Amino acid sequence: MTQAPESGSRRSQAASRIGFAFGLLGAIAVPGPLLVPLLGHLGTGEPAARQMISRLVAAGNLEVERHGRVAVYVLAGPMLRRYRAIGEGVEPPPWRGRFHVVVHDIPQTRRRARETLLAASAREGFGPYRPGLLLGCQDPRPWVEPFSSDAALRIEVGELAVDREAAHRMADVAWDYRGLRARVGQAVDRLVRSASERSQDGWVEARRLDDAFATATPLWSASAAIPRDLLPEAVGLDRLGELVAAIGRQSGPVFAATVEDYVAASPYRELLRRDPGSGPRDLIGS
């Protein structure tokens, strides 16, 4: 399966760590002087944390509100959608008997544009059936539209109706079920080991759950747009969710008080904007 460019992978990792930090706080807006040290507790030093935040702002995943000299970072764009999806358990799209298709013919001289298109398609749940043909199950026009103004890129969208048997074969190719199953298996092995490594240190336990989410989130994202009817149980995603929830139940009672004490001690706590109905309990799996 075609992979997103490495820069996209780094952005995804940054979004996972920062998204987890927002989840720890149960917040959709966090002041920088509270967010940056929190990322330090999770294992990211200040220079790297500031760079991660700047990249996400530039990509439209965070917005900045100014309160005097203090920057408050607000979840936005794709990152906000993923945050909501994890918290609310958004269901994958139903299979309606047809694929949405994106046909592209981008010259080698526009390699960066092609990589950007493929990275966007992967984020939106489209997979390559063959070179130049992407398959998905949701309307691609919102994410394709920014590329449409450049006639040199030659991109078309449409629909392809197929019977269920053909759909399973095509989905197997586009979403590389063999590769996905192998990656899920590796993640499950890692999470099984993590489930046995318990601590009474709140920040250690927060980092353990952060690592669990960082392990699972790319796989959830890769499969979130695949209809259940087309996704084989053998891929093992249910087991992945069970393990993350189990680690959350183990670690949550340990780190919850640590996080609340951290917030209470911050002079910037009044700038924190909680997400109604969310909080560390969403990470604990209870």
Contact 250, 198 (CB under 8 A): yes
CA atoms within a 13 Å half-sphere pointing along the CA-CB vector of 269: 10
Percent of the chain with pLDDT over 90: 68
pLDDT interval class at 278 (50, 70, 90): low
Q: Provide the CATH number for the domain around residue 106.
A: 3.30.70
- CA 202: distance to chain centroid? 24
**Do 109 and 153 have their domain in common?**
yes
Q: Which two tokens stand for residue 93?
A: 């799209």
| Domain of 208, in residue numbers | 175-254
pLDDT attached to residue 230: 94
**Do 145 and 181 have their domain in common?**
no
Contact 75, 278 (CB under 8 A): no
In a domain, 112, yes or no: yes
In a domain, 11, yes or no: no
**Do 126 and 156 have their domain in common?**
yes
In a domain, 267, yes or no: no
Statement: residue 262 has pLDDT above 50: yes
Q: What is the pTM of this model?
A: 0.80
Q: How many residues does the chain have?
A: 286
**Do 157 and 212 have their domain in common?**
no
Distance CA 207, CA 250 (A): 13
**Count of domains forming the chain:** 2
In a domain, 67, yes or no: no
In a domain, 133, yes or no: yes
What average pLDDT does range 11-24 have in this prediction? 79
What average pLDDT does range 262-277 have in this prediction? 91
pLDDT attached to residue 261: 96
Edge-first strand order for the sheet with 127-130 is: 127-130, 133-136, 98-104, 155-161
Using alpha carbons, select from 72, 71, 47, 54 the residue that is nearest to residue 15: 54
- Structure confidence by residue, pLDDT tens digits, 169-219: 999 999 999 999 999 999 999 999 999 999 999 999 999 999 999 999 888
In a domain, 35, yes or no: no
In a domain, 194, yes or no: yes
Distance CA 210, CA 216 (A): 10
